């Protein structure tokens, strides 16, 4: 009985939820986008859209080229989390599940007779039947294997609506037909490192020695990978919180300096509330801004003595933005030609409250008491009942929609300012926050990659390449990236 894990992966989850809620979307190509803008990418695609080559990470302009009839809908994070709880309850009725590793997947440990192949398969089929009774639009692929890593791999081997079993006797030859990137933990950079080490296929990976993989990874992670490929179940590594932050891809209406500044203030206020609720203070603040049309980004970092009050942090952020504001006024940054695309703020060097000496300056104590009073009011009457004036534009345009007030998890009742509301239970809260932040970071990377690929095509194909306007769904011809003379180099930001 080598089967120890059953892994459930919901197929095209975000798109399937939209088709579940709206019958007219069913059977039609559908893409889910973070913002309704041509300068973003699909964060999910229905299988009808995938048939045309549209997938996660496909730029909107490319999706419209491949599938002119595709329907694009804006993501509704609160609804996805709400339905996530219902699906977890459905699985719990069939078998106990562990803490979800993502909003659209979860693993279950098999115990005793559940490890027998026929019993494990029966549990998987029971989950599929319950899911079919629950929804006509949501399906899942299930993998059953000796460990979580292999069970996840198996769930990806037959999509959609598949069920794959990998027993110890199937290893490693059952994996040989996979690509290196099909294995969890191998992305573009790791694939390149493996190829540099002479490992160009999964078959070569499986036949490599433990020491060779350690050298390829440059750490003990190589040995962990070697053991997982052979069916060993390894304990999860403990991690400690090192930073708290948020990022956001700006909507077209906020791709200007005032809108970007307002969103940054809101993101920092959210991160500070999370940090205070978790009982931490920060020693550093990092700011990153990316722009449409250029690869250079605006980055700033400040180190300071431990603090957590929002007013002081917002003052520090305002100072970080001063040089960008000067660049716009002087014309060094042409904000209409190269509008801001995405923003991110991170509080780093976090440590537990209580390890610091008391405040000597009374002003700092007052700022913290004001912040704590705001937290209590927003806790009682709803998120953003009171907020700092600099956040007004972001709140008016509902930017950065996932709201995490003073908890480590998004309580939908508090976070949602106008959509579906349903309180989350305390035991689910902790994972909700991590699950959505994981996807949020992935969406930001996908959107930025979409822009880089679009610019690359414009350079490769010239005027015939599709280009997206920063504030409309129409294409426009690419313009010169710089007006400086040939050979002249000038700093964009000072």
Please write the tens of the pLDDT for every residue from 143-198. 999 999 999 999 999 999 999 999 999 999 999 999 999 999 898 899 999 999 99
Quick count: other Cβ atoms within 10 Å of Cβ 472? Answer: 12
CA-to-CA distance for 491 and 494, rounded, in angstroms? Answer: 7
pLDDT score of 357 more than 70:
no
Domain ranges of the chain: 5-168, 172-229, 243-424
pTM, 2 dp: 0.71
**pLDDT tens-digit series, residues 123-133:** 999 999 999 99
Is 174 in contact with 132 (CB distance < 8 Å)? no
**pLDDT tens-digit series, residues 415-474:** 444 433 333 443 444 445 556 555 555 555 565 555 555 555 554 544 444 443 333 333
Give the mean pLDDT of 95-120.
Answer: 94
pLDDT score of 315 more than 80:
yes
Peptide bond preceding 393 in cis form (omega within 30 of 0): no
DSSP 457: H
| C-alpha dist (Å) from residue 336 to 114, 196, 257, 341, 459 | 61, 43, 10, 12, 21
pLDDT score of 482 more than 60:
no
Q: Specify the CATH number of the domain 243-424.
A: 3.30.1490.100
Question: 236 in helix, strand or coil?
Answer: coil
Report the share of the chain in percent with pLDDT over 70. 76
Quick count: other Cβ atoms within 10 Å of Cβ 117? Answer: 13
Architecture of domain 172-229: Orthogonal Bundle (1.10)
Nearest Cα to Cα of residue 445 among 54, 75, 60, 41: 41
Q: How many CA atoms lie within 13 A of 258 on its CB side?
A: 7
**pLDDT tens-digit series, residues 54-98:** 998 899 989 999 999 999 999 888 899 999 999 999 999 999 999
CA-to-CA distance for 312 and 289, rounded, in angstroms? Answer: 21
Question: 248 in helix, strand or coil?
Answer: strand
Superfamily of domain 5-168: Reverse transcriptase/Diguanylate cyclase domain (3.30.70.270)
Dihedrals φ, ψ of 334, to 5°? -90, 95
Highest-scoring range by mean pLDDT, 318-327, 345-354, 403-412: 318-327
The tokens describing 55, both together, are 């997938």
CA-to-CA distance for 57 and 9, rounded, in angstroms? Answer: 19
Nearest Cα to Cα of residue 350 among 283, 278, 433, 269: 283
Give the mean pLDDT of 375-402.
Answer: 70
Region of poorest pLDDT, from 73-82, 253-262, 387-396: 387-396
User: ∠81-186-48 over CA atoms, to 5°?
Assistant: 50
Label residue 161 left, alpha or beta by phi (over 0 means left) and psi (-120 to 50 means alpha): left
The tokens describing 201, both together, are 């296929």
pLDDT score of 242 more than 70:
yes
Output the pLDDT for position 1: 59
Strands (E) across 166-293 are located at 243-249, 280-291
DSSP 216-228: HHTSTHHHHHHHH
């Amino acid at each position: 009985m080598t089967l120890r894990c059953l892994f459930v992966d919901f197929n095209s989850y975000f798109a399937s939820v939209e088709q579940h809620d709206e019958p007219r979307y069913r059977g039609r190509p559908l893409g889910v986008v973070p913002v309704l803008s041509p300068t973003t990418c699909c964060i999910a695609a229905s299988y009808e859209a995938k048939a045309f080559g549209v997938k996660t990470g496909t730029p909107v302009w490319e999706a419209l080229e491949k599938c002119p009839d595709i329907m694009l809908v804006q993501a509704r994070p609160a609804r996805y989390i709400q339905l996530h709880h219902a699906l977890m309850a459905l699985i719990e009725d069939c078998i106990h599940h562990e803490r979800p590793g993502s909003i659209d997947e979860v693993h279950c440990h098999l115990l005793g007779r559940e490890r027998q192949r026929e019993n494990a398969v029966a549990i998987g089929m029971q989950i599929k039947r319950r899911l079919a009774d629950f929804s006509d639009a949501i399906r899942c692929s299930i993998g059953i294997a000796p460990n979580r890593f292999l069970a996840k791999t198996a769930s990806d081997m037959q999509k959609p609506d598949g069920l794959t079993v990998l027993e110890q006797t199937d290893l490693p030859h059952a994996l040989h037909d996979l690509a290196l990137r099909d294995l969890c933990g191998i992305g573009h950079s790791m694939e390149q490192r493996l190829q540099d080490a002479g490992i160009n296929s999964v078959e070569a990976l499986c036949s490599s020695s433990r020491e060779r993989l350690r050298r390829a990874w440059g750490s003990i992670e190589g040995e962990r990978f070697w053991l997982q490929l052979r069916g060993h179940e390894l304990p999860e590594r403990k991690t400690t919180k090192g930073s708290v932050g948020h990022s956001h891809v700006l909507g077209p209406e906020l791709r200007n300096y005032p809108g970007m500044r307002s969103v940054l203030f809101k993101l920092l206020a959210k991160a500070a509330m999370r940090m205070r609720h978790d009982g931490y203070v920060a020693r550093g603040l990092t700011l990153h801004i990316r722009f449409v049309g250029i690869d250079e980004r605006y980055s700033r970092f400040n180190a300071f003595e431990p603090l957590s009050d929002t007013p002081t942090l917002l003052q520090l952020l305002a100072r970080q933005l001063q040089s960008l504001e000067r660049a716009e006024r002087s014309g060094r940054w042409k904000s209409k030609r190269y509008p801001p695309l995405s923003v991110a703020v991170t509080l780093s060097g976090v440590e537990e409250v209580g390890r610091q000496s008391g405040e000597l300056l009374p002003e700092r104590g007052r700022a913290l008491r004001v912040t704590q009073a705001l937290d209590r009011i927003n806790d009682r009457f709803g998120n953003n009942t009171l907020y700092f004036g600099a956040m007004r534009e972001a709140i008016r345009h509902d930017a950065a929609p996932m709201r995490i007030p003073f908890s480590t998890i998004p309580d939908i009742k508090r976070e949602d300012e106008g959509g579906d509301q349903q309180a989350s239970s305390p035991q689910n809260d902790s994972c909700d926050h991590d699950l959505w932040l994981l996807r949020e970071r992935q969406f930001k990377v996908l959107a930025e990659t979409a822009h880089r690929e679009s610019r690359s095509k414009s350079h490769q194909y010239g005027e015939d390449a599709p280009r997206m306007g920063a504030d409309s769904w129409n294409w426009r011809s690419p313009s010169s990236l710089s007006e400086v003379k040939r050979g002249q180099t000038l700093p964009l930001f000072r």
